[in-house]
Amino acid sequence: MDPFSLLEKLQVFDVHGRDKRGRKILRITGKLFPATLVSAETLKKFLAERVFPKLEDGPFCVVYFHTRVQRCDNFPGFSSLRSVYEFIPAAIKDNLESVYFVHPGLQARLFLATFGRFLFSGGFIEKVKYVNRLEFLWEHIRRGVLSEIPDFIHEHDDALEHRPLMDYGLEVDHRRLHDVPAIDSSASCLYSLRCNS
């Protein structure tokens, strides 16, 4: 299957509906992006032909679902991100008013805080709004306006609801770990005794 057809079939990028301020919504589902199969050049061509024409006529926002994105499978790399960002026409950048970054995680937040200003120009970082849970997204977008949200996003959101420290990378998703040995309690006691002096 050619990359264009693959991107359309997976619905990685979907312009659909409007937010509460009347802006068009570009939904991006990061986990669905096949980074190992789609080059930056192909992505630029796809965006120019299939996405940008839908965003030229007025303000829009982006809802980016970062849920369960894996660097090796779904992340195109820093140089590709910068290349694609620089390729975006000025009119489209001007029309972008907000980026709702859903389920960001600690690593993504740290990356944007430290390197975001070097990679993205034109006030992009100031437009990013972190959204830890879907319930907070509904403050900006009416429920049901976004085209179908994949089940894995709802499942992750439910897991965060019961284990809030996962939001900040302080607790791991134990369902993803296999055969991890338990920490020896005597070693943790020694560590805590050293800190008491």
Partners of residue 101 on adjacent β-strands? 64, 130
Q: In the 8-state DSSP scheme, what is residue 56?
A: T
Could you tell me the mean pLDDT of each successive run of 10 residues in the chain, 197 residues long? 91 95 96 94 96 96 94 86 92 96 90 86 90 94 88 91 62 45 42 39
Q: How many residues does the chain have?
A: 197
Q: In the 8-state DSSP scheme, what is residue 103?
A: S
Based on C-alpha coordinates, what's the Rg of the chain?
19
pLDDT in tens, 35-44: 999 999 999 9
Which domains are seen in the chain, by residue range? 3-194 (3.40.525.10)
Q: Two tokens at 10?
A: 């997976």
Q: Two tokens at 21?
A: 């301020």
Single-letter code of the amino acid located at 112: L
